[in-house]
């Protein structure tokens, strides 16, 4: 069996990679760019850095650009509508996505809707969107989602609190500018949440039923970069080498799951985020230890490989020993990075339990749990949700 691998056409990786954006626009022949970002990127001066190089660079043609800075964390259908309208009205021929996963996901959705119209729900899974939207140049500012290198976007339908999984080659950015220096200012909490998200991508891609030889190499590479450095960047955000390793690991994790899939953690995580407004990486972190424990029996060798790639088990360890060390490490990581339980986050237990069945149904409908080594029933999913309160 062969595997189809889809990647950004251009990847620029390393310090100051983001400043190559004028050259990328030039090579693409796109002189009208809409920068899609958030207000924090404006306040931090990151948007100004991009607009400055666009103003100064002598390109083949004059570049015209404007900024849409109203993206929000965990984007909703409503939150992207003004961006879609702006992209259509300005007749832009490309989009520059600057920010964390939410900004990049918003930009991907805007790129499709601006070109083809319709509503976001028209593009949700199981539809596979292979039609190319406006070309997206993605510049990530967190080491987490890997969205700069994935054919996936997540947009919440606020009418029913469902995080819609939208996927297909049409959502893959044309270019990814992976500049770790943009992550230096990321706060410790966000660093932790996005870092565990990246680690989850790598683990789930490796144990997924859709894993392949290519995605395996990217997933293992991601784990080798992320695991030894996540604590370092949490405790010392100025550690440049650790930040660089985390950023590359995040991108490799994105490549891995985009060309394999995520699995049960992500399937269960999205409804928690939609119903209770938990940041995506944080809800993944809440789930990763218990879901891994539930799943290990169905793929002990694969999970043991993860433990060895993370550097917490050796080749001398048996699979059982490696997996025991993996579970211990995931729990210890949550403790050290101060990952709250749902109760500590402030979620009401009664409200949580009242929607467990709905969350289980939404998780199954997303398709992600079906990629897990051990595929749960709806009843098992409800039990796994409820176990977060033990």
pLDDT at site 55? 86
The predicted model scores a pTM of 0.94
pLDDT at site 86? 96
Mean pLDDT for 173-180 is: 98
Q: Is 33 within 8 Å of 114 (Cβ atoms)?
A: no
pLDDT at site 62? 72
User: For residues 39 and 296, what is the distance between their CA atoms, to the nearest angstrom?
Assistant: 42
pLDDT at site 60? 64
- Per residue in 316-373, pLDDT (tens digit) is 999 999 999 999 999 999 999 999 999 999 999 999 999 999 999 999 998 999 999 9
pLDDT at site 303? 98
Any idea which of 11-15, 159-163, 301-305 has the lowest mean pLDDT?
Answer: 159-163
Q: Is 118 within 8 Å of 177 (Cβ atoms)?
A: no
Mean pLDDT for 131-143 is: 97
User: For residues 144 and 281, what is the distance between their CA atoms, to the nearest angstrom?
Assistant: 8
pLDDT at site 162? 84
Mean pLDDT for 262-274 is: 94
Residue 241 or 55, more confident: 241
Percent of the chain having pLDDT more than 90? Answer: 89
Of the pLDDT bands very low, low, confident and very high (cuts 50, 70, 90), residue 160 is confident
Whether the predicted pLDDT of 209 surpasses 80? yes
Of the pLDDT bands very low, low, confident and very high (cuts 50, 70, 90), residue 58 is low
Mean pLDDT for 383-388 is: 96
Whether the predicted pLDDT of 59 surpasses 80? no
Q: Is 79 within 8 Å of 70 (Cβ atoms)?
A: yes
Which residues are CB-neighbours of 385 under 8 A, at least 6 positions away? Answer: 268, 352, 356, 359, 360
User: For residues 384 and 3, what is the distance between their CA atoms, to the nearest angstrom?
Assistant: 32
pLDDT at site 61? 62
Rg (CA), the chain: 20
């Amino acid at each position: 069996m062969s595997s189809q691998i889809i990647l950004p056409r251009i990847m620029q990786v390393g310090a100051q990679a983001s400043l190559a954006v004028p050259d990328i626009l030039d090579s693409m022949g796109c002189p009208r760019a809409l920068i899609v970002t958030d207000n924090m990127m404006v306040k931090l001066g990151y948007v100004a850095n991009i607009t400055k190089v666009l103003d100064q660079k002598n390109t083949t043609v004059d570049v015209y650009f404007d900024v849409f800075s109203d993206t929000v964390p965990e984007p909703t259908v409503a939150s992207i509508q003004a961006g879609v309208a702006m992209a259509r009205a300005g007749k832009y021929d490309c989009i520059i996505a600057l920010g964390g996963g939410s900004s990049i996901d918003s930009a991907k959705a805007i790129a499709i809707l601006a070109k083809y119209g319709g509503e976001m729900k028209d593009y949700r899974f199981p539809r596979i969107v292979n039609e190319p939207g406006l070309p997206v140049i993605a510049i990530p500012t967190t080491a987490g989602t890997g969205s700069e290198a994935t054919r996936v976007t997540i947009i919440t339908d606020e009418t029913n609190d469902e995080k819609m999984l939208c996927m297909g080659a049409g959502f893959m950015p044309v270019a990814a500018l992976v500049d770790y220096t943009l992550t230096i200012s990321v706060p410790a909490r966000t660093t932790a949440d996005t870092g565990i998200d990246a680690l989850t991508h790598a683990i789930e891609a490796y144990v997924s039923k859709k894993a392949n030889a290519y995605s395996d190499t990217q997933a293992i590479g991601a784990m080798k970069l992320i695991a030894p450095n996540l604590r370092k960047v949490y405790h010392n955000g100025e550690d440049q080498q650790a930040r660089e390793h985390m950023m590359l690991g995040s991108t490799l994790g994105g490549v891995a799951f985009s060309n394999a899939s995520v699995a049960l953690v992500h399937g269960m995580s999205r409804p928690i985020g939609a119903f209770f407004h938990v940041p995506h990486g944080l809800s993944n972190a809440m789930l990763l230890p218990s879901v891994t424990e539930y799943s290990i029996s169905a793929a002990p060798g694969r999970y043991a490989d993860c433990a060895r790639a993370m550097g917490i088990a050796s080749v001398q360890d048996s699979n059982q020993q490696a997996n025991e060390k993996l579970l211990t490490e995931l729990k210890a990581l949550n403790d050290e990075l101060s990952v709250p339980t749902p109760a500590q986050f402030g979620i009401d237990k009664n409200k949580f339990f009242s929607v467990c069945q709905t969350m289980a149904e939404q998780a199954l409908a997303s398709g992600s749990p079906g990629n897990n080594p051990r595929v749960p029933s709806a009843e098992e999913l409800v039990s796994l949700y409820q176990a977060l309160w033990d």
